[in-house]
C-alpha cells in the first residue's frame, strides 16, 4: 500500500520506464462486487504483465456541506484484503494533507471544472460536486499515470464528465466504462447501500422498479411518451414508498446529456432518490 504522492509517482515512473501498462480503478473505498468487476476489467485490459492500481480515497471536495462525508463508510483493512484477493498490484491510499495541503503559503488553490456535461442532474442537485470529482481525478491521473482507467456506468454522468475532461485536456490515457453491477434483485451496487437498514433496503428497489416501468412504457406505447408526463407518473410510483423522496428524474441524449422532451428507445434515463436519509442514484438506457 502506498500512501504518499511522491511514492506513487516514483512507482509510476518506474513502470513507465519498463514499458508496463497500468490499469487504474479510482474508488472511495468500502469496496463491493461492482468495484471488483472494474478491477477484473482493468486486469484484462493490461494483461498479466501489466499493473493494476486501485486508489482508495474519500475525496472531501466532492461532498457538499450537508452531505455524508464524515459518515461515508470506511474500512481500509477490509478493502486491502479484497484487493489482495482480486490480484491488485498496488493500493494508493493518500491522506488528505497529501492531496490538499493545509491553509498557508502553499495551500491548495487549483481546481478543474468541466463546463457543459456537468451542469444538469447531479451538477444541479450538488453544485460543487463535479468540480471536486474532476479535480481529484485529474490529480490521480497525474499521480498514477495510468494507461487505462476504468469507471462504472452507475455514475453515468460522472463517467461522461471524466471522458470529456480527458479529451479536452489531452490526458494520455483511455477511459473504459463498465456496466452497472447489480444485486440479484436489481438494486445497483453502491457503498451507500450500507446505510439501508431494515425496510429501507426493500424500499430502495423503487429506483430499479422506476427504470423498469419507464422501459416498459417506452416499449409498449403506441405513441412516443412525453418525458414530462412520464416523469410525473414515475414520481408517484417512487413516492408511494413511505421513505422515498424523489430528487430528480431526467431523460436525456446519451452523448450530449441534453434533456429529451420525449422518451424514446435509445434515450437514457437517470434518477436520484432519497430513501430515508440515503441518497441513491441509478440510470439505464430505455
Whether the CB-CB separation of 273 and 206 falls below 8 Å is answered with yes
Return the exposure string of 5-43: e unless at least 16 CB atoms fall within 10 Å of the residue's CB, then b. Answer: bebbeebbeebeeeebbbbbbbbbbbbbebbbbbbebbb
Distance CA 246, CA 275 (A): 9
Look at residue 105 and tell me whether its pLDDT is greater than 70: no
User: Could you tell me which of 253, 263, 186 has the C-alpha nearest to residue 220?
Assistant: 263
Q: Span 60-71, mean pLDDT?
A: 95
As a whole-number percent, the residues of the chain with pLDDT over 90 amount to: 95
Backbone angles phi, psi at 14, to 5 degrees: -65, -45
Catalytic residue among 35, 129, 181, 268: 35
Q: What is the mean pLDDT of the chain?
A: 96
Q: Directed axis angle between helix 5-18 and helix 129-144, to 10°?
A: 50
Look at residue 96 and tell me whether its pLDDT is greater than 90: yes
In tens, the pLDDT along 245-261 reads 999 999 999 999 999 99
Q: Quick one: pLDDT band at residue 102, thresholds 50, 70, 90?
A: confident
C-alpha cell at 3: 500512501
Q: Span 77-87, mean pLDDT?
A: 98
Predicted TM-score of the model (pTM)? 0.96
In tens, the pLDDT along 22-64 reads 999 999 999 999 999 999 999 999 999 999 999 999 999 999 9
Backbone angles phi, psi at 206, to 5 degrees: -65, -25
Whether the CB-CB separation of 158 and 283 falls below 8 Å is answered with no
8-state DSSP, 108: -
Burial of 106 (0-12, 13-18, 19+ CB in 10 A): exposed
Whole-number pLDDT of residue 222: 86
35 is catalytic: yes
- DSSP labels, 166-230: HHHTT-SSEEEEEPPPB-TTSPBP-GGGGG--TTHHHHTTHHHHHHHHHHHHHHH-SSPPBHHHH
Look at residue 90 and tell me whether its pLDDT is greater than 90: yes
Domains in the chain, start-ordered, CATH in brackets?
A: 5-178 (3.40.50.620), 191-285 (3.30.1300.10)
As a whole-number percent, the residues of the chain with pLDDT over 70 amount to: 99
243: how many CB neighbours lie within 10 A of its CB? 19
Amino acid at each position: 500500500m502506498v500512501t504518499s504522492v511522491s511514492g506513487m509517482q516514483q512507482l509510476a515512473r518506474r513502470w513507465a520506464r519498463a514499458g508496463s501498462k497500468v490499469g487504474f480503478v479510482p474508488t472511495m473505498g468500502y469496496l463491493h462486487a461492482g468495484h471488483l468487476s472494474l478491477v477484473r476489467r482493468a486486469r484484462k485490459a493490461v494483461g498479466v504483465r501489466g499493473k493494476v492500481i486501485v486508489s482508495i480515497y474519500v475525496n472531501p471536495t466532492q461532498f457538499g456541506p450537508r452531505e455524508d462525508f464524515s459518515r461515508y463508510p470506511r474500512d481500509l483493512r477490509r478493502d486491502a484484503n479484497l484487493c489482495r484477493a482480486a490480484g491488485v498490484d498496488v493500493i494508493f491510499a493518500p491522506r488528505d494533507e497529501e492531496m490538499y495541503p493545509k491553509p498557508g503559503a502553499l495551500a491548495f488553490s487549483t481546481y478543474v471544472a468541466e463546463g457543459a456535461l456537468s451542469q444538469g442532474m447531479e451538477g444541479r442537485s450538488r453544485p460543487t460536486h463535479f468540480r471536486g470529482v474532476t479535480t481529484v481525478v485529474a490529480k490521480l491521473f497525474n499521480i498514477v499515470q495510468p494507461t487505462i482507467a476504468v469507471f462504472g456506468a452507475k455514475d453515468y454522468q460522472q463517467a461522461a464528465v471524466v471522458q470529456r475532461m480527458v479529451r479536452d485536456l489531452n490526458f494520455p490515457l483511455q477511459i473504459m466504462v463498465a456496466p452497472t453491477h447489480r444485486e440479484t434483485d436489481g438494486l445497483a451496487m453502491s457503498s451507500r447501500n450500507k446505510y439501508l437498514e431494515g425496510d429501507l433496503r426493500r424500499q430502495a428497489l423503487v429506483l430499479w422498479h422506476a427504470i423498469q416501468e419507464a422501459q416498459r412504457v417506452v416499449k409498449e406505447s403506441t405513441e412516443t411518451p412525453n418525458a414530462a408526463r412520464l416523469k410525473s407518473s414515475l414520481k408517484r410510483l417512487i413516492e408511494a414508498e413511505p421513505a422515498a423522496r424523489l430528487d430528480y428524474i431526467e431523460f436525456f441524449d446519451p452523448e450530449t446529456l441534453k434533456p429529451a422532451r420525449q422518451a424514446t428507445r435509445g434515450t437514457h434515463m437517470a434518477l436520484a432518490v432519497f430513501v430515508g436519509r440515503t441518497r441513491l442514484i441509478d440510470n439505464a438506457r430505455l
